[in-house]
Structure 1
Amino acid sequence: MNLLLLDTEDFTGSDQAVLTGRRAKHLFEVHKAQAGDQLRVGLIDGCMGQAIVTHASETRATLEAIALTEQPPAPLPVSLLLSLPRPKMLRRILQTASAMGVKHITLINGARVEKSFWQTPFLQPQAIREQLVLGLEQAKDTRLPTVEFAKRFKPFVEDELAGRVTGCQNYVAHPYQATPCPTGVTRAKHCHLAVGPEGGYVEFEVKKLQEIGFQAISLGPRILRVETALPVLLSKLF
């Protein structure tokens, strides 16, 4: 935890907050926080700053003199379109995307997405939020990404996505018959990045994305896991 994130409901006064649960335990056991320690804090979807610990235990921590005056880092100008991965991988990918500055994620169904993946409890709003917050804490950011679901690939691409991507730079990661991933794309235009499952998109899905303006790009002949490919793609593009 490189940044202690606060919710509005944590505040007991204009510059005071009380923490319980995971955050209090982390402060006590990992940070070894004691009364008088100064911490880096941030308000979810707000500013960052400093706070003073006045009490710390395994179950409860009290902060005072909270001063939030700094803006969080700029987000990446990218919307991530992600074929729903395996549940255990999903948690890591959400953390990574959040830490790297992605602010809009669409989890999409597809031919190679197993139906059982949509039944995982990791898709519950609180479970998703937990992983996004962990990513923000790691990267010292406060802006919480939004996550939406698209359980029908073709209608989503034709009826919704086609209207969003006009005038944007749009890429679909595809290891076959694709140009090398560009580097340092301009931030003047918003970017949409579609990343398929480990087996890749099927040809029908790639064609549908290309029809609305997506360019197929590749990281080379090696087939990478999604959790590896995503940070590499974002790093090369931005």
Structure 2
Amino acid sequence: MNLLLLDESDYIAPGLVRIAGRRHRQLLEVIKAEPGKFCKAGMLNGLTGTAELLEIGADAATLRPDLTVPPPEPSPVTLIAALPRPKTFQKVLHAAVTMGVKEFWFIACWKVDKSYWSSPNLETASLDETCRLALEQAGDTAMPRIEFRNRFKPFVEDELPGILAGRPAYAGHPAATEPIPVGSRGPAALVIGPEGGFTGYEIDLLARHGVTPVTLGRRTLRTEVAVPALLATLTAQPR
């Protein structure tokens, strides 16, 4: 836990918070924090700073937060991804949230198994936990927006144009020949297909709606590797 992520409901008095459960166990058992020590802290969807540990017991801890610093800048990239298998989904979501992505669209396509849509990993509680853990790791506080669409063609034809809104969009695709741009400036969209890539029909439909197929090279990558690699390349900052 690089940052203690707080909720408004944690306040027990002005300037005082009390935490229990996973966050308390992290302070007690992993960080081994003691009264008088400070840790990085942030308010969910708010400012960051530090919190002084005042008291820690077997079940709860009381802290005094001092939050005055804005969270890190969000990524300018909107991520649109074919829904991965459940375990991969959690890895992709965690990695992208740590990299600052704030808008996700997980979509259907021909190679997405219908069973993926009933995974408990897509339930609100699981999404919230995965995102919170990623925000804590990244020292961030801003929760992302996550949308799911289980019909490919209606999404591409009816919603994608509005999502792109004139911004460049790139689809990682095994058969593409154009390299992904390095350090693209401003808002952009990144489209990730299933393992094995989109079908010819799907990539053609995406291309007709403003998405350029791109590649990282000849190597075939797992989705959980391809997503951070493509995001890092697209948002790389010049020295």
In structure 2, how many angstroms separate the alpha carbons of the residues matched to 1:127 and 1:178?
37
Asked if structure 2 preserves the Cα contact closer than 8 Å seen for 1:55 and 1:62, the reply is yes
Q: Given the alignment of the two structures, is residue 210 of structure 1 paired with residue 215 of structure 2, yes or no? A: no
Q: Cα offset for 1:59? A: 2.6
**Residue 54 (structure 2) pairs with residue 54 (structure 1):** yes
Distance across 1 between alignment mates of 2:58 and 2:89: 29
8 A Cα contact 1:43 1:142, kept in partner: yes
1:150 paired residue number: 149
Secondary structure of the equivalent of 2:117? helix
Deviation at 1:58, TM superposition (A): 4.6
String of CA shifts for 1:66-117, please: whole Å, max 9, x gaps.
1110011101111100111111111111111110000000111110011111
Residue 162 (structure 1) aligns with = 161
The one-letter amino acid of 1:140's match is G
Deviation track 1:43-70 (CA, whole Å, cap 9, x = no partner) reads: 0110001111112235311112x11100
* CA–CA distance in structure 1, aligned partners of residues 162 and 128 of structure 2: 27
Of all paired residues, the percent bearing the same amino acid is 42
Aligned to 2:222: 225
Aligned residues of 1:29 and 1:58 also touching (Cα < 8 A): no
Number of aligned residues: 235
Give 2:29's aligned residue: 29
Residue 102 (str. 1) matches residue 101 (str. 2) = yes
User: What SS does structure 2 have at the residue aligned with 1:30?
Assistant: helix
CA contact (8 A) 2:174 2:196 kept: no
Which residue identity lines up with residue 200 of structure 1 in the other structure?
G
- Counterpart CA distance in 2 for 1:159 and 1:77 is 22
1:81–1:52 Cα change, 3 Å:
same
Q: Does 2:11 align with 1:11?
A: yes
Q: Deviations over 1:200-221 (max 9, x none)?
A: 1111111111111110000111
**8 Å CA contact retained: 1:25, 1:57:** no
Deviation of 1:34 (Å): 1.1
Measured on the aligned residues, the alpha-carbon RMSD in Å equals: 1.0
Which aligned segments of 4 or more residues in structure 1 are displaced greater than 6 angstroms? none
Distance in structure 2 (CA, Å) of the matches to 1:58 and 1:169: 52
Structure 1 letter corresponding to 2:44: I
- For residues 20 and 148 of structure 2, what CA distance do their matches in structure 1 show? 31
Q: What residue in structure 1 maps to residue 89 of structure 2? A: 90
Alignment of 1:131-146 (within 5 A): 131-146=130-145
Matched AA of 2:4: L
Which amino acid counterpart does residue 123 of structure 2 have in structure 1?
Q
Unpaired runs of 5+ in structure 2? none
Once residues 122 and 165 of structure 2 are traced to their aligned partners in structure 1, the CA distance between those partners, rounded to angstroms, is 29
Q: Can you give the 5+ residue segments of structure 1 that lack an aligned partner in the other structure?
A: none
Residues 117-146 of structure 1 deviation map (CA, whole Å, 9 limit, x = unaligned): 111111001101111111111111111111
Distance 2:58 2:191 in 1: 42
Is 1:43 matched up with 2:43? yes
Distance (Å, rounded) in 2 between the aligned partners of 1:205 and 1:59: 52
Matches within 5 A, 1:72-83: 72-83=71-82
